Amino acid sequence: MKRELPHDLGAERALIASLILNQNTFDKITDLKISEEDFYDKRIGAIFKAIYEIILLNRPVDYVTVSSMLSDLNKLEFIGGNYFLTSIVDDHMTDVNVYGYAMIVKEKSTLRNIIETTIQIANDGYEHEGHVKEFISNCESKFFKLTNQSKVNKSKSLKELVKMNLKTLEGNSRAPGEVEGLSTGYPALDKYLLGLRSGQLIIIGARPGMGKSALALNLAVNSVEQSGLPAIIFTLEMQCDELSMRILSSMSKVDGKKIKTKNFGPHDLSNISKAASKMANMPIFIDDTSAINLMEITSICRKKKAEEGLGIVVIDYLQLMGVNKSVPREQQISEISRGLKAMAKDLGIPVIALSQLNRVAETTNKSFDKGGSSSKRPTSSNLRESGAIEQDADAILLIYRDDYYNKEHSKEPGVAEIIITKNRGGDTGTVKLGWVGAVTSFENLKWEGK
């Protein structure tokens, strides 16, 4: 005998009656992200859809307007006419417990989705012929969508989006000029990027020794200090204790060589102790699994997001990730960059991926500095396997340091150029930051912006 799926028709009817009696109650339940699909009785779901459409139009909600909207949507006959609508309103004369009704509706809907998902997974398990890891990742993805209740997994009309835009503009949560996403910690960079925003894939490219790992670490640490949300750093080149030592050097401002040789100055140990105490309370997680692949990274990030929340992910670096070696290299990188962008969108976080540059960046670039001398400043085309990376990235930051190539005669020693060659959220351009190689840290310049 087939069992009935979980539902509560009384709560569904009570919720609809509450919304019709007092349209202001709708604002109380918006955080639950209830949709037409959450109702077991499809007729009641159709009424909810009509109420939702009326509210989007900023019109009053009552028996007459709901009936009219149902007629416009060709759903009045489907629900059984005005008699069915009247019976719902007449049964409930109060909106006091609207949030409680909405919670019941949402919870029953979630239970139905879980049951249907587990049945689907069981059926897929009987028929699966590929790698078990792929099947597990598939299962995790399906359950993550169920647990991530704040995510809306459907397209939105422009009408809905414009209303969201206007609410954002009307809000006073941000001061004029304040960045939308997580601050990079560098005001000059924030002016271009407007912060590190959810859903973004940000590529940092540079030749070896330019400081791309250091910049990514600085951005991750700055974001955690600002938001308090966890960061995960996947380091495919260095060991995790080596990377944490870099963070310790950067935060304590103690020369990395002194830390390695234990040749400390009078105040170094005190500075290290303060930095270590601060680091111990920062939710930064480092994974140094060699050749970790996209599926494994996505799985780890999903779990962290579900358990503790997640603010930012750093991958150092893209070309070292595990891949399917049976396909051409360009296709491998294309799958990785597309997958990282998808992960950023699904998890609602910025993802920073580091990328190598071709050697050609140092030999064939024909740009010139202000003095007329040839320059080795990189461009987006210097990214290894650049086609897919350029297409999927929301922002591309390339690092150039003149003193790296002109140690004796550099016009700007200790200065790094962050060249923004792509920026979906704003302008491209160049930002100058201080580079303190001894502590592998980028710093704001005092004369910045003057």
pLDDT for residue 419: 94
Q: Quickly state the pLDDT bin for 295 (edges 50, 70, 90).
A: confident
pLDDT for residue 169: 63
Does the structure show a pLDDT above 80 at 148? no
What are the tens digits of pLDDT across the range 197-217?
Answer: 989 999 999 888 888 999 999
* Domain regions of the chain by residue span: 9-127, 187-443
What are the tens digits of pLDDT across the range 402-419?
Answer: 888 888 888 888 899 999
Does the structure show a pLDDT above 70 at 324? no
Query: For residues 434 and 439, what is the distance between their CA atoms, to the nearest angstrom?
Result: 12
Which candidate, 420, 399, 416, places its Cα nearest to that of 192? Answer: 420
pLDDT for residue 372: 45
Q: Please check whether residue 383 is in contact with residue 389, taking contact to mean a CB–CB distance below 8 angstroms.
A: yes
Sheet containing 201-206, strands listed edge to edge, beginning at the edge strand earlier in sequence: 284-287, 231-235, 312-316, 351-356, 201-206, 395-400, 415-423, 429-436, 441-443
If you average pLDDT over residues 110-129, what whole number do you get? 85
Helices (H) and strands (E) in the chain, counts: 17, 9
Average the pLDDT over each of 33-42, 118-127, 348-357, 440-449 and give the range with the smallest value.
440-449
Cβ–Cβ contacts within 10 Å for residue 338, how many? 16
Query: For residues 380 and 359, what is the distance between their CA atoms, to the nearest angstrom?
Result: 13
Query: For residues 401 and 389, what is the distance between their CA atoms, to the nearest angstrom?
Result: 23
- The CATH code of the domain at 187-443 is 3.40.50.300
Query: For residues 116 and 62, what is the distance between their CA atoms, to the nearest angstrom?
Result: 35
Does the structure show a pLDDT above 60 at 53? yes
Does the structure show a pLDDT above 50 at 78? yes
If you average pLDDT over residues 48-52, what whole number do you get? 91
* CA dihedral of residues 36, 39, 44, 47 (deg, nearest 10): -20
Q: Which of residues 9 and 266 earns the better pLDDT score?
A: 9
High-pLDDT (> 90) share of the chain, % = 26
- The CATH code of the domain at 9-127 is 1.10.860.10
Q: Calculate Rg over the CA atoms of the chain.
A: 27
pLDDT for residue 170: 61
Q: Please check whether residue 346 is in contact with residue 340, taking contact to mean a CB–CB distance below 8 angstroms.
A: no
Does the structure show a pLDDT above 70 at 181? yes
Does the structure show a pLDDT above 50 at 381? yes
pLDDT for residue 151: 45
If you average pLDDT over residues 301-325, what whole number do you get? 83
Q: Quickly state the pLDDT bin for 227 (edges 50, 70, 90).
A: confident
Which residues belong to the active site?
237
pTM (2 d.p.): 0.65
